[in-house]
Chain A
Amino acid sequence: MSDNDRHINFKLMRDHILSLQDEDGPRNGKKYWRSLEELADTPVFREFVAREFPQQAEEWNDPIERRTFIKLMGASLALAGLSGCVFQPPEKIVPNVKQPEEHVPGKSLFYATAAPLFGAAIPILVRSNEGRPTKIEGNPEHPNNRPAEAESENPVWNPRGSSATDIFTQASLLGLYNPERSTTPLYREDIRTWTAFVGEMRSALDEQRSKTGQPIRFLTESIISPSLGAQMNELLAALPQAKWHQWQPANQDNALAGAKMALGQPVNTTYRFDLAQRILSLDCDFLSPTFPGYVRYSREFIAGRQVTEKNREMNRLYVVETTPSNTGAIGDHTWVVKPSEFEGAARTLASFVARDPQLYGGLGPPYGGSSGFNWAEAVAKDLRDHAGKSIVVAGENQPPFIHALAHAMNNALGNVGKTVFYTDPLEVNPVDQRQSLQELVNDIDAGRVEFLVIIGGNPVYNAPADMKLTFERLQKVKLRVHLSEYKDETSNFCHWHVPAAHYLESWGDARSYDGTVSIIQPLIEPLYEGRTAYELLAVFSEKYDRKPYEIVKSYWQSHRGAGSSQVNPRPTSSPSPTATNQNQQTPAPSPTPSQDFESWWRKSVHDGFIENSAFQPKTVAFNSGWANQQTPPAPQPAAGTFELVFRTDPSLYDGRFANNGWLQELPKPLTKVTWDNVAIVSPNTAQQIAGESSNRGAVKGREHYVPLVDITNAHGGTVRAPLWIMPGQPDGVITVHLGYGRPGPGSYSGNSGDVVGFDAYSIRTSFEPWSMSGVRVTNPGIDYQLATTQLHFNLEDPRFATEDRDVVRSETLEHFLHGEKHEEHEHPTLYEPYPYKDQDINTPNYAWGMAIDLNNCIGCNACTVACQSENNIPVVGKREVVRSREMHWIRIDTYFQGFDPNHPEGVNFMPVPCMHCENAPCEPVCPVHATVHSAEGLNDMVYNRCVGTKYCSNNCPYKVRRFNFFLYQNWDTPTYQLMRNPDVSVRSRGVMEKCTYCVQRIQNAKINAELEDRKVHDGEIVTACQAVCPTEAIVFGDVNDPNSRVSKLKQNERNYSLLGELNTKPRTTYLGQLKNPNSEIKS
């Protein structure tokens, strides 16, 4: 309150001083004053001083005297301090007299750009409200997101381009506004200016240049920006002794090495899942957002699973994996295999798939592992039966040999050029990053590095344990510079820390998974003094003050349309409608390329991508002989040891999102754990490690408590991790996720002082980056509290398993086509149903509804983050999640099928938003009419009316209502105020909230429709969760319109109401999942 008042008082004071000047100026000739004393010498002020305040009291009753009094008070405020004077910026500023074009206050604008977070860039469309980016969705115009042909056969499949994205891209919005971002360049903790930094760098560079030896080293992450790569290459040419190293903890080393092994060159592999009828995943989690191209791939993969009236077939996914994943959950057949036996499984499959003795004879006889892989023959037969229409895809976590096998199998099946394409790598300079980092570390140890520039990344935190960049090691480098968004572990060990600009604040370019280039355009001026990598690299060149805009634009001025390898048309073999002649690519009106660059540039920036810039498929030659190399048999691990699998975290990736509350609080797809990483083991292994105590929590009714165990690798590194029981995990294998255990800034630990999770990097070595054996586990007998949003009670007593409750429906395709149907009962009622008609003219009104196709849901969580961003949903923190007070309006429930926790029969994902029940149980119990039914069938929540009895939540059978037990919203941080969606109320303490079907979007569309005197078109309203869903699992629309997509889905025989027997008549209905198992394989 006081702050507001001060603001107003300053204004009053300024007005007062101005008025004083006007009144008194002519009299005493003083237009300006030099001191307050001089000002105080005015007669008005003297009068004020002469009279005591209490005597002025009567003047409040006198209108004229009171004014004088207030003026005098203003003068006394001026005396209170000079800070009252308001400064205006020295430059000429221009008032907003005329409204800028396209800018209507209250209306949002959308800008296309791309998110270069890791791996491949994601094309996005960012909503901007009054110049503030407030929401990130996919760019539907981008070739990655345009509908493919196979999809158009399904009548309910959206014909528009997809606006899907992943969780990381959406949550990067919170990263922009994170108040913990570093704000200024720092030199040894002292604030410096950018110019001081530039000066320092220039002189250091000159000094280095005069010396011989190794002048300067650059350490970056993988660079997918063509212009940054060109800049780097120019720099290296100008500084012949400079070296460029790359390190990213989750890198493409294995894929590139595998490609070199099988194909003799590093390639980027792209897939057409929509054309594939049989897919074999070798530990490849291509349906998780960490996989490059996941948005496109999951959409195309799910498109092949649409069973319609006409199309009675669906694709079949075989998954062989080392730890349960989202892809494994979707798979029609999923086998978990220990990492040590994985090669055997892959070899067995390959030997059945590829029978060419010359090339594959070296694979030897089918490998008989512990489980025998007796399914391999049937899988291989199925793949062979669909030669040219199948895909074998290998995971980045698998060694090069598995990638080579996948390439060989695709080749043998004739998939290359049909469903599998090889292109140039996305990275400008694909190197073996392990080796690259090793060289740098060796040089540092040998004292050959004097000047190290680290651009992005956090190598001090995430380097492997055997080449940790410790402080002692880095001290040998005389000058260290780090560019990063947060002052993180690496910055702490560097002399200079330069704050990095967020991608929403900077110009740039980046490639998406297929090579299509996007121009990254800023949505907002840098909030702080953030700089881009372009600017930092420019400092070391002769043109050290170049702006990123110039750098990117001039790069494309010289590279556009040159037919270089960077700019290529879409593959002609691809049936994409965008594949046009490259020379005609620019629809600019001007005939000559030199003249039309400006419009080409404008169009590319506007569209968010450069037309036809995807890589052309390469023809590759397959090597032979590599398969004969027998992998040396791994030393027999000692008894009582375990195998350890490393994975990037489903929410934090490699740790770069550790300071993102949306992602920290996002329940991980299978475990539903938030704010922690865990050591995942099977129920059997948990029993082996922790004995009875592994289940102690559940027995004691303390479900949130799990035992802590110490995991020691063969080299003596130890971490203490909470033990998590995961059904379907192979016995004897422990899975840990990277990215946690970060102390200090750049992570949530910086706020609370408690380190979030454990640091799995500390036991990860460079030569065993993704799995290791010989790991010992001890149980010190300590319990640890985890914050999970869903407790797996269904494992507790099979008598009350989920199947009994008919929550998720899943059936085989065979059963769906020929088996008996579910019977739906109508509940008899005496009341006429509300007709949802316009009462004046008796025409159908809107009746909003939603259908969620469980067959499409891959459990990627994108909808949850979208909802959080769209609806200003707060982050509550671990302590509150432990108390079951998370605020997500849409949650993804995970159910394991079957009765044996060690061998679940399947996993189901189920997104649960508010059901908007026709007979909503929440409505009659609210004593103050805070939750009411709208005339369009919405179950509205009136925040201002809510007094917080919480009765509605108790009476909601779906428990989708969320209560503000505390003031969860951060009202004070100014940057968060910029981030919020202005169309959605920011809820305060003590009120209930829940999914609104994005009522703000409904209203927006209705207003637009009303202005044009028409009804809202089907598909015009897209809820936030629906918009970002890569697989179109969520469809929203008017159920009163029989032709709307949602109505058609609801007429589908798979459609059912969740807990329909309660007669709540939910508006959100579900479509059961279909599985397509191979009848020749017995599970």
Chain B
Amino acid sequence: MSDEAQKPYTEGPMHSTSPVIDPGLTFASVTDKISSIVLKRKTSLAWFFGFAISFALFQLMLLAITNLVFVGIGLWGVNVPVAWGVDILNFVWWIGIGHAGTLISAILLLLRQRWRTSINRFAEAMTLFAVAQAGMYPIFHLGRPWLMYWLFPYPNTMGIWPQFRSPLMWDVFAVSTYATVSAMFWFVGLIPDFATLRDRARSKPFQILYGMLAMGWRGSARHWHRYEMAYLLLAGLATPLVLSVHTIVSFDFAVGIIPGWHATIFPPYFVAGAIYAGFAMVLLLTIPLRRFYGLEGFITMRHMHNMAKVMLATGLIVGYGYTMEAFFGWYSGNKYERFMIWNRMHGPYHLYYWALILCNIITPQFLWSKKIRSNLLALWIISFIVSIGMWLERFVIVVTSLHRDYLPSSWGQYQPTQWDWAMFIGTIGFFFTLLFLFIRFLPMISIFEMRTILPEAEVEE
């Protein structure tokens, strides 16, 4: 072993300042540390507390959905002209959050950004849970949700296919494919760790449970070979999805003829926004979690810096998007487009617009400063603001475009009701319920992948 190998992995000289993993860790300590959270560590009172709150909010969601299905979507604030409101914007918001996971897992894997290994498991789980929340909205925003299966192209006695020209139809495929591939990717990535947990579990039920999930993993070279291949293929599958899902979601709007929706800039701008929102959410969750479970050794300041830089970059793309929207509103010379921009800035919802600019364009500029990037509290607050900003962005796109379109006679107002909020808060509760279960019962950091970035793993060739 050369001296070089003794040094922690740093991805070359440019990033020599801060390591991606604590230099003091070894193969054994990595495994111990991560698996003990699941297997040994006493479940803390704080976990129970957090879980209880999330679970209560989850019940609120079930209540909201039950009421919705029995009474009708009139419970929400949607109307004509604003027939899509908080429901669809929450769908877009959650889907956006769900982008970070796959991006971190797949694209950074293909780009050989090895720092991703510390956060990919967690980000993937977050993706999956966010997509689960997002997936509920398109179903329950239907007037007759029990007929949602009509959107699927299945052979039926009605002799009718879905309408393939409709972006909602594309959504069905985009979101369901994304959810499936993300779930598979996540599960395949977990298999070696399930095996570790199986071997280390102290109680029989857990041994059996983890054993089943490990699918007979024995760690043989053949297993590893197949595993690597499968993982790479899935990453290859997932990579275009990162771009396609939000592109297609943006088509829901871009295909429409409503001023404020009908814009060619939407696909790239939506994808950038999604990554932006996704990284904000990863930071939002990682910072407290890392602190709470003492994972500073695995998720180092390198990760924080990198994620903050991704946020800054995507935030600038999003800011460019806003600018171009406003510019083309004016430059097109189209009276409806001009009015749309004017209405966003000065109409009844102008506060939402300016708050959006503040949250999404002004706030991330602080990330240029290394000092702020190094301050976890500041980073957390910025992430929080960006998450809100991304919600506002969808509100501005969905609601302010619809509420005043072509004919002044049909203009209207939109006001979310308590049931809109109940559903939204409920999905947040459901999201955290899943997240709490995840950090309690599954390794939130990939054990075996962490071991590959240890100095010990450096093999001289």
Contacting B at CB under 8 A, from A924-960, are 924-929, 945-951, 953-955, 957-959
Contacting B at CB under 8 A, from A785-803, are 790-791, 793-794, 797, 799-800, 802
Whether, in the assembled complex, A965 has its beta carbon less than 8 Å from a beta carbon of chain B, the answer is yes
Closest B residue by C-beta to A948? B143
Cross-chain contact B144 with A991 (CB below 8 angstroms): yes
Q: Which of A894, A910, A926 contacts B166 (CB 8 A)?
A: A926
Q: How far is it, in angstroms, between the C-alpha of A799 and the C-alpha of B342 when the chains are bound? A: 10
Which residues of chain B come closer than 8 Å to A928, judged between CB atoms?
150-151, 162-163
- Beyond A704-B413, A959-B410, A990-B72, whether A884 also contacts B79 by CB under 8 A is yes
Contacting A at CB under 8 A, from B128-172, are 141-145, 147-148, 150-151, 160-163, 165-169, 172
Q: Taking the nearest CB of chain A, how far is it from the CB of B143, in angstroms?
A: 2
Contacting A at CB under 8 A, from B362-388, are none
Which residues of chain A come closer than 8 Å to B308, judged between CB atoms?
none
Q: How far is it, in angstroms, between the C-alpha of A926 and the C-alpha of B167 when the chains are bound? A: 8
Cross-chain contact A959 with B405 (CB below 8 angstroms): yes
Q: Taking the nearest CB of chain A, how far is it from the CB of B76, in angstroms?
A: 8
Q: Which of A893, A954, A961, A990 contacts B407 (CB 8 A)?
A: A893
Cross-chain contact A1062 with B143 (CB below 8 angstroms): no
- Beyond A701-B349, A924-B163, A947-B143, whether A805 also contacts B406 by CB under 8 A is yes
Which residues of chain B come closer than 8 Å to A966, judged between CB atoms?
71-72, 74
Whether, in the assembled complex, B8 has its beta carbon less than 8 Å from a beta carbon of chain A, the answer is no
Which residues of chain A come closer than 8 Å to B74, judged between CB atoms?
880, 885, 965-966
Which residues of chain A come closer than 8 Å to B172, judged between CB atoms?
927
Closest A residue by C-beta to B253? A954
- The stretch that binds A, out of B11-19, B57-65, B80-88, is B80-88
Q: How far is it, in angstroms, between the C-alpha of A967 and the C-alpha of B144 when the chains are bound? A: 11
Q: How far is it, in angstroms, between the C-alpha of A928 and the C-alpha of B166 when the chains are bound? A: 9
Q: How far is it, in angstroms, between the C-alpha of A958 and the C-alpha of B405 when the chains are bound? A: 9
Q: Taking the nearest CB of chain B, how far is it from the CB of A924, in angstroms?
A: 4
Q: Which of B143, B163, B407 contacts A950 (CB 8 A)?
A: B143
Cross-chain contact A949 with B256 (CB below 8 angstroms): no
Q: Taking the nearest CB of chain A, how far is it from the CB of B168, in angstroms?
A: 4
Q: How far is it, in angstroms, between the C-alpha of A921 and the C-alpha of B151 when the chains are bound? A: 19
Whether, in the assembled complex, A989 has its beta carbon less than 8 Å from a beta carbon of chain B, the answer is yes
Cross-chain contact B407 with A953 (CB below 8 angstroms): no
Q: How far is it, in angstroms, between the C-alpha of A925 and the C-alpha of B406 when the chains are bound? A: 18
Which residues of chain A come closer than 8 Å to B145, judged between CB atoms?
947
Whether, in the assembled complex, A962 has its beta carbon less than 8 Å from a beta carbon of chain B, the answer is yes
Which residues of chain B come closer than 8 Å to A965, judged between CB atoms?
72-74, 78-79, 143
The total of chain B residues at the interface (CB under 8 A) is: 56
Cross-chain contact B141 with A1059 (CB below 8 angstroms): no
Whether, in the assembled complex, A613 has its beta carbon less than 8 Å from a beta carbon of chain B, the answer is no
Which residues of chain A come closer than 8 Å to B143, judged between CB atoms?
946-950, 963-965, 989-992
Which residues of chain A come closer than 8 Å to B81, judged between CB atoms?
884, 953-954, 959
Q: How far is it, in angstroms, between the C-alpha of A1081 and the C-alpha of B150 when the chains are bound? A: 64
Q: Which of B162, B165, B258, B347 contacts A924 (CB 8 A)?
A: B165
Which residues of chain A come closer than 8 Å to B83, judged between CB atoms?
950-951, 953-954, 963
Whether, in the assembled complex, B257 has its beta carbon less than 8 Å from a beta carbon of chain A, the answer is yes
Q: Taking the nearest CB of chain B, how far is it from the CB of A852, in angstroms?
A: 14
Closest B residue by C-beta to A967? B72
Q: How far is it, in angstroms, between the C-alpha of A794 and the C-alpha of B160 when the chains are bound? A: 45
Q: How far is it, in angstroms, between the C-alpha of A924 and the C-alpha of B251 when the chains are bound? A: 13
Cross-chain contact A990 with B166 (CB below 8 angstroms): no
Q: Taking the nearest CB of chain A, how far is it from the CB of B459, in angstroms?
A: 53
Whether, in the assembled complex, B412 has its beta carbon less than 8 Å from a beta carbon of chain A, the answer is yes
Per-residue CB contact flags for chain B residues 162-205 toward chain A (1 = under 8 Å, else 0) read: 11011111001000000000000000000000000000000000
Q: Which of B339, B346, B406 contacts A957 (CB 8 A)?
A: B406
Contacting A at CB under 8 A, from B273-316, are none
Cross-chain contact A805 with B80 (CB below 8 angstroms): no
Cross-chain contact A989 with B80 (CB below 8 angstroms): no
Cross-chain contact A954 with B79 (CB below 8 angstroms): no
Which residues of chain A come closer than 8 Å to B348, judged between CB atoms?
700-701, 703
Q: How far is it, in angstroms, between the C-alpha of A278 and the C-alpha of B336 when the chains are bound? A: 41
Cross-chain contact A947 with B144 (CB below 8 angstroms): yes
Which residues of chain B come closer than 8 Å to A953, judged between CB atoms?
80-81, 83
Contacting B at CB under 8 A, from A1056-1083, are 1058-1059, 1062
Q: Which of A893, A950, A990 contacts B409 (CB 8 A)?
A: A893
Closest A residue by C-beta to B168? A927
- Beyond A921-B257, A946-B144, whether A927 also contacts B163 by CB under 8 A is yes
Cross-chain contact A929 with B160 (CB below 8 angstroms): yes
Whether, in the assembled complex, B226 has its beta carbon less than 8 Å from a beta carbon of chain A, the answer is no
Q: Taking the nearest CB of chain B, how far is it from the CB of A704, in angstroms?
A: 7
Which residues of chain B come closer than 8 Å to A422, judged between CB atoms?
none
Whether, in the assembled complex, A662 has its beta carbon less than 8 Å from a beta carbon of chain B, the answer is no
Whether, in the assembled complex, B328 has its beta carbon less than 8 Å from a beta carbon of chain A, the answer is no
Q: Taking the nearest CB of chain B, how far is it from the CB of A884, in angstroms?
A: 4
Q: Which of A700, A793, A948 contacts B142 (CB 8 A)?
A: A948
Q: How far is it, in angstroms, between the C-alpha of A790 and the C-alpha of B407 when the chains are bound? A: 10
Contacting A at CB under 8 A, from B77-113, are 77-84
Which residues of chain B come closer than 8 Å to A895, judged between CB atoms?
408-409
Cross-chain contact A929 with B162 (CB below 8 angstroms): yes
- Beyond A793-B404, A924-B165, A990-B72, whether A703 also contacts B413 by CB under 8 A is yes
Closest B residue by C-beta to A964? B143
Per-residue CB contact flags for chain A residues 864-901 toward chain B (1 = under 8 Å, else 0) read: 00000000000000001001110000010111000000
Closest A residue by C-beta to B335? A804
Question: Can you list 7 A-B contacts (CB < 8 A)?
Answer: A800-B408, A925-B167, A929-B161, A949-B142, A951-B168, A954-B256, A959-B81
16 new A-B contacts, CB < 8 A, other than A950-B83, A954-B402, are A701-B347, A704-B413, A799-B342, A925-B168, A925-B255, A928-B150, A928-B162, A928-B163, A947-B142, A947-B147, A948-B144, A949-B142, A951-B166, A953-B83, A990-B143, A1062-B406
Give me the interface of A with B, judged by CB distance under 8 Å: 700-704, 790-791, 793-794, 797, 799-800, 802, 804-805, 807, 880, 883-885, 891, 893-895, 910, 912, 921, 924-929, 945-951, 953-955, 957-959, 961-967, 989-992, 1058-1059, 1062
A-B pairs, top 4 by smallest CB distance, nearest first, are: A948-B143, A990-B143, A701-B348, A965-B74
